[in-house]
Chains A and B, each alone.
Chain A
Amino acid sequence: EVQLVESGGGSVQPGRSQRLSCVASGFIFDDYAMHWVRQTPGTGLEWVSGLSWNSDSIAYADSVKGRFTISRDNAKNSLYLEMNSLRPEDTALYYCVGSRCSGGTCYFEMWGQGTPVTVSS
């Protein structure tokens, strides 16, 4: 069974840091680029950050660039998101997502269930 299981969410004060983790199972982890996508309650999806299978390519949304760092450990089938200088607007459910590309498109094939992050004083 394909699974992405996130952890590390919780409540944190503004300006502090938090680290999210995601463990993959049931598929070949390093066949996939991996991403973090977040969703504020009642609103839409926002792509946060992504990296290629070998970590050679990394990208961030403008809203988190300079504050968040994405990484992966293929030996541990794991994805991470180090979040620094957190702001109330970073409050969201954070999904770990695996993507593939074919036929002129890339698509987010596998999704975890998400881990909630609340930034509040």
Chain B
Amino acid sequence: SSELTQDPAVSVALGQTVRITCQGDSLRSYYAAWYQQKPGQAPVLVIHGKNNRPSGIPDRFSVSNSGNTASLTITGAQAEDEADYYCNSRDSRRNHLMFLFGAGTKVTVL
């Protein structure tokens, strides 16, 4: 199907590790990108491709990819990591300029 599926919510204890998954057929053809969105703010790109982080994004964010699943891992979660996280990729079944977003995962840091 032409969609990306994410778990609605996860929680993690401060300093522990959390993994967020994103599943979809398009991920067999394209790597995902991941965005962090805090309340009242625009999304921010945190990582894309195999493990490419924009300047300023801490290295506790990493990704892995297998088949139709992309996973974002936060190793040693901090309070400031509490946010919604969205995955996206090109839509492999459609025009190369068409994109999909997952519904987002709300990460709560306890």
Contacts and interface: CB of A to CB of B under 8 A. Distances in A.
Contacts of B33: 105-108
Contacts, number: 80
Given A44-B86, A44-B104, A107 B48 contact: yes
Contacts of B86: 44-45
A59 B95 CA distance: 7
A114 B37 CA distance: 13
Interface in B8-55: 30-33, 35, 42-45, 48-50, 52, 54
Contacts of A68: none
Interface in A78-115: 95, 102-109, 111-114
B62 to A, nearest CB: 15
Contact of B42 (A44, A51, A107, A112): A112
Interface in B54-109: 54, 86, 88-90, 94-104
Contact residues of A: prevailing secondary structure: strand
A51 B95 CA distance: 11
A17 interface: no
A48 B66 CA distance: 28
Given A103-B50, A107-B45, A111-B43, A50 B31 contact: no
A104 B31 contact: yes
B83 to A, nearest CB: 13
Nearest to B6: A44
